Structure 1
């Protein structure tokens, strides 16, 4: 019986390190995990307007189908947007993308839960950022 594969995306704006503010990131390294084997990363570059901060929640997205997204930081709004797409969210202080994936697979990076909705919070973009 074949083992299901898992897709793990890592926010990596500079293509080398795990990025902060994953909601604004436009470059992701996507790793296919098959059993205990982690494949080589595939670079996914988003077009302008496709960063999760800006993308329409109801439109198809290049990272649809990813199982988990790892970033150095992400707001509650991004966690909620990812959850709506069926993507689990995790943050790490690890800067090397492959090491972050290994830590996730080892259970060292717990999934983040979407925050409860707060009436009147933020500016309506649901990203968790603090600008108006």
Structure 2
């Protein structure tokens, strides 16, 4: 099983997964000791906030851990079979371990303020 962590600096968990271009990928074969196995840097058109469908470099990950995520992102990832988990800590490996231990739960889809120029595009709550 693979777990992705949004990390704009490739060191800590960072916010707004839908706009993140960088992700750490962890191999969770050994839940007590997950290992970073890859660093992914997305092209601008592959950032989920801009992405319009088709195959994606993060397809197949079981979960994306992040410091924050909007409801549209959570819904899109759920449709792709990926859980989104919002974490309070900053250490990626600890967050992956906590997720695998059941201490972190998937995000709940909620609507947020859409007064930021995308007119609800891609947000199920705005349909």
How much does 1:103 deviate? 1.3
Counterpart-to-counterpart distance in 2, 1:9 and 1:26: 12
Matched, 1:62 2:62: no
| TM-score w.r.t. length of structure 1 | 0.81
TM-score, length-normalised on structure 2? 0.84
After superposition, give the CA deviation of every residue in 1:38-66 in whole Å (9 maximum; x if it has no partner).
Answer: 2233101100111111101x311110011
Name the residue aligned to 1:46.
42
Task: Map residues 69-108 of structure 1 onto 2, 5 A cutoff.
Answer: 69-108=64-103
Contact 1:80-1:115 within 8 A present in 2 as well = no
Query: Is residue 11 of structure 2 the alignment partner of residue 16 of structure 1?
Result: yes
Determine the C-alpha separation between the residues in 2 that align with 1:52 and 1:96.
23
Cα RMSD (Å) of the superposition? 1.9
* Structure 2 portions without partners, runs of 5+: none
2:75/2:109 contact within 8 Å kept: yes
**Distance in 2, Cα, partners of 1:113 & 1:35:** 27
Partner secondary structure for residue 90 of structure 1? strand
Would you tell me which structure has more helix in proportion to its own residues? 2
